[in-house]
Structure formats: structure tokens, C-alpha cells
Amino acid sequence: PNLQQFIQNVKGDASYMALEKVLDDIEREGELRGRLEGRLEGKIEGKIEGKIEGEMEGELKGKEQVARRMIAERLDSDLISRVTGFSLDKIDQLRAEGNGGTK
């Protein structure tokens, strides 16, 4: 038989069809694994981002508390700025909030 007939005979063979099914299954499994890995990676990234944002927000609130205490003690804005890292405008804003919106 020529090559084309040989190929046709092989394609019709049960072992060839079983092998083809195994290869299809492997391909589907790989696609599924890829989707699952992508979802897992997305969840992990989301949790990390959330944790970082939460820590940054907590740090900011802590600095604001320190600044408010310093304001309550009538300390100088320049000193408060050096301690907290806040701009003078931010400190003025906190002062205004502490005075019911008036400076």
C-alpha cells in the first residue's frame, strides 16, 4: 500500500483513535489547569492588593491621630509636619476639622 492508504488504515485503527482521545483529554486538562491557575493568581493578587491598601490606610489614619493629638496640644504646624510627613495644608485641614470647620 502507498503512504496515503497506510495513513488511512492507521487513522481507522482503534489504538490510534484511543491515542487521539488521550491527546484531546490532555489538551482539555491543560486548558482547565490554565484557567484555574489564572483564577487563583487573580485571587492572590487581589488579596495582596487589598492587604497593602488596608495597611496604607491604617498607617494614614494612625498619622492623622498623631497629628490631631499634636494639634490638640497646640504644637507648631512645622513640627507636626516633620513628625507626620503631612503637608502644612493637610495639617491646616485637620486643624479646621478639629475646630468644627473653622480655623
Is residue 68 domain-resident? yes
Is residue 46 domain-resident? yes
What tens digit of pLDDT does each residue of 62-75 get? 999 999 999 999 99
The pTM (predicted TM-score) of the whole model is: 0.56
Buried b / exposed e over 33-68, threshold 16 CB at 10 Å, is eeeeeeeeeeeeeeeeeeeeeeeeeeeeeebeeebb
Is residue 10 domain-resident? yes
23 versus 102: the higher-pLDDT residue is 23
Q: How many domains does the chain have?
A: 1
Is residue 103 domain-resident? no
What tens digit of pLDDT does each residue of 3-56 get? 777 777 776 677 777 888 888 899 999 999 999 999 999 999 999 999 999 999
Residue 15 lies in domain: 3-98
